[in-house]
């Protein structure tokens, strides 16, 4: 499989504060990477460095001509904006000069009803809003999808559906997902690689081999991982 | 001097530009910073009167400078930038009032009243209004993505900082074109009020922009008619009409 991403000695600092340090990993096309770690461990900062929107030192090397879709964790936008979903998707497709008809396709791909295009974005439910963001990211036919805690504001049944959707997009659209997640259940089920962070790299590899109780204790501190770990083994 | 018909034509174009700028300012939540910016025209008008220059030149210069200052302040979201905007606002009104030593000129600068236009002023006003409308049309998609999420915009390689600067400059130009008939204190209101009214009754972008422009144009046309019929000051009349439209829209508010 061809290498899609290589990160070497990545470091991100904001003044004296070091958000990420000494991080190196590689990812092949067709894989699925989960990034886990406690709050403040640098997961979002890593995604932003991968997108080149935050300054960093070290190397972030993407495969040539890669197209990246991004689903941020929180949208600071006012949900009362007079924008419906079509307005938002049209804005991106016009900037990218994408032809008409693609909007209907991405909306269908993420499992949203076509009627939702007319819904003001503030009236979408948490799950619908998340799907809308994924649809936004899919415009432009990305090869890689970076998702920052895509289920953070969704209930548990909704969570499952979002993860199923990500998995389906991986299969049907040949997309390599990179997902920041708190949910170890997802990591075991869908990820082929897991990267554990706590400002620097704690572990990297296949989930079954990498996420030992010792590694989890190192990431989350003693006791806190048991719930996740044994939940998975039930 | 050219006849009043031209003044109405110009004011409809200037108002439509103001309505559109206001719609984006409302979505971007930069309405107040922009309103403060309009007061920066006052010292410029004062200097122009002092040195016998065209008031548009003086007001325009300080407005553009103000746009750049606010652009810099917007990058910092600290309390001190709020305070700085407050200081700029108060000091520019005070400085302008000191510079303009004729009471009549001061009232004109604050509330408008240069209704009689020269041909050059008409052409300049039309050019500015059309430029603002065309630039907003070009920038609209990037503006929408950037105001929805700066992160998403950055991930698409949209230069949000330059989009923001462009927007503030368009805002400044819009104030400038409204300055003559509304005055520095009220020029900002034609940007804010029609957009706020349109927001009450619309839920999609196309409708919001259209209603905002139409409400603004309606305010100036009705303002012209009422002010000439009842010999009222033009600027305040236009703003009162706009406020009345807002009141009706707020009552009819779409849930």
Q: Which tops the pLDDT comparison, B34 or A13?
A: A13
Tell me the pLDDT tens digit for each residue of B97-144. Answer: 888 777 777 777 777 765 567 888 888 889 999 999 999 999 999 999
Of B148, B206, B208, the CB nearest to A77: B148
For residue A111, give both structure tokens: 């499992």
Spatial separation of the C-alpha atoms in residues A93 and B245, rounded to whole Å = 35
Measured in whole angstroms, the distance separating CA A174 from the mean position of its chain's CA atoms is: 15
Q: In three state form, how does the secondary structure of chain B look? A: CCCHHHHHHHHHHHHHHHHHHHHHHHHHCCHHHHHHHHHCHHHHHHHHHHCCCCHHHHHHHHHHHHHHHHHHHHCCCCHHHHHHHHHHHHHHHHHHHHHCCCHHHHHHHHHCCCCCCCHHHHHHHHHHHHHHHHHHHHHHHHHHHHHHCHHHHHHCCCCHHHHHHHHHHHHHHHHHHHHHHHCHHHHCHHHHHHHHHHHHHCCCHHHHHHHHHHHHHHHHHHHHHHHHHHCCCHHHHHHHHHHHHHHHHHHCCCC
Best to test chain B binding among A74, A81, A86 (most B CBs inside 10 Å): A81
Band (pLDDT 50/70/90 cuts) for residue A107 is very high
pLDDT at A232: 45
State which residue of chain A sits closest to B29, comparing Cα positions.
A78
Domains, chain A, ordered by start: 1-66+178-234 (3.40.50.300)
Residue contact B154–A92, C-beta within 8 A: no
The count of other CB atoms within 10 Å of the CB of residue B86 is: 11
pLDDT at A76: 62
Of A51, A77, A94, the CB nearest to B141: A94
Spatial separation of the C-alpha atoms in residues B174 and B19, rounded to whole Å = 10
Best to test chain B binding among A62, A91, A98, A135 (most B CBs inside 10 Å): A91
The nearest CA of chain A is from the CA of B253 a distance in Å of 13
Spatial separation of the C-alpha atoms in residues B182 and B227, rounded to whole Å = 12
Of B141, B149, B154, the CB nearest to A77: B149
The nearest CA of chain B is from the CA of A85 a distance in Å of 9
- The overall average pLDDT reported for chain B is 86
Task: Report, as an integer, the average pLDDT of B191-205.
Answer: 93
H-helix or E-strand spanning residue A8:
strand A3-14
Spatial separation of the C-alpha atoms in residues B107 and B32, rounded to whole Å = 23
The nearest CA of chain B is from the CA of A170 a distance in Å of 21
Band (pLDDT 50/70/90 cuts) for residue A230 is very low
Task: Report, as an integer, the average pLDDT of B145-162.
Answer: 89
Tell me the pLDDT tens digit for each residue of B39-69. Answer: 888 888 888 888 888 878 888 898 888 888 8
Domains, chain B, ordered by start: 4-251 (1.10.3470.10)
Residue contact B155–A136, C-beta within 8 A: no
The nearest CA of chain A is from the CA of B27 a distance in Å of 6
């Amino acid at each position: 499989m061809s290498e899609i991403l290589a990160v070497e000695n990545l470091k991100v600092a904001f003044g004296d504060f070091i958000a990420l340090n000494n991080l190196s990993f590689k990812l092949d096309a067709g894989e699925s990477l989960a990034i886990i770690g406690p709050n403040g461990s640098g997961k979002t900062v890593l995604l932003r460095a991968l997108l080149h929107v935050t300054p960093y030192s070290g190397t972030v090397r993407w495969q040539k001509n890669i197209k990246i879709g991004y689903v941020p964790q929180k949208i600071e936008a006012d949900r009362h904006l007079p924008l419906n979903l079509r307005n938002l998707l049209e804005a991106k497709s016009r900037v990218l000069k994408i032809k008409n008809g693609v909007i209907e396709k991405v909306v269908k791909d993420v499992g949203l009803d076509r009627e939702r295009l007319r819904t003001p974005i503030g009236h979408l439910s948490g799950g619908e809003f998340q799907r809308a963001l994924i649809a936004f990211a899919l415009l432009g036919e990305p090869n890689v999808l970076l998702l920052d805690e895509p289920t953070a504001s969704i209930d548990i049944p909704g969570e499952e559906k979002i993860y199923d959707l990500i998995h389906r997009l991986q299969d049907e659209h040949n997309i390599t997902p990179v997902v920041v997640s708190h949910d170890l259940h997802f990591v075991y089920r869908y990820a082929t690689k897991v990267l554990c962070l706590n400002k620097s790299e704690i572990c990297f590899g296949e989930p079954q081999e990498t996420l030992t109780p010792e590694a989890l204790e190192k990431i989350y501190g003693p006791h806190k991982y048991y719930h996740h770990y044994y939940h998975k083994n039930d | 001097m050219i006849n009043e018909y031209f003044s109405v034509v110009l004011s409809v174009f200037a108002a439509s530009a103001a309505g559109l700028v206001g719609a984006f300012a409302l979505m971007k939540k930069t309405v107040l910073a922009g309103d403060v910016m309009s007061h920066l025209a006052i010292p410029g008008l004062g200097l122009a009167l002092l040195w016998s220059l065209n008031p548009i030149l003086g007001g325009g210069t300080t407005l553009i400078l103000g746009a750049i200052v606010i652009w810099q302040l917007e990058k910092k979201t600290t309390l001190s930038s709020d305070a700085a905007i407050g200081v700029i606002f108060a000091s520019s009104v005070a400085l302008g009032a000191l510079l303009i030593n004729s009471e009549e000129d001061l009232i004109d600068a604050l509330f408008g009243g240069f209704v009689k236009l020269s041909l050059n002023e008409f052409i300049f006003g039309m050019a500015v209004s059309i430029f603002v409308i065309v630039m907003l049309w070009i920038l609209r998609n990037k503006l929408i993505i950037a105001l929805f999420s700066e992160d998403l915009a950055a991930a698409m390689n949209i230069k949000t900082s330059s989009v923001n600067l462009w927007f503030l400059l368009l805002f400044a130009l819009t104030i400038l074109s409204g300055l003559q008939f509304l005055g520095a204190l009220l020029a900002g209101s034609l940007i804010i009020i029609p957009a706020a009214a349109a927001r009450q009754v619309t839920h999609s972008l196309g409708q919001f922009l259209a209603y905002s422009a139409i409400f603004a144009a309606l305010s100036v046309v009705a303002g012209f008619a009422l002010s000439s019929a009842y010999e009222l000051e033009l600027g305040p009349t236009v703003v009162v009409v706009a406020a009345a439209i807002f009141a009706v829209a707020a009552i009819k508010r779409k849930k």
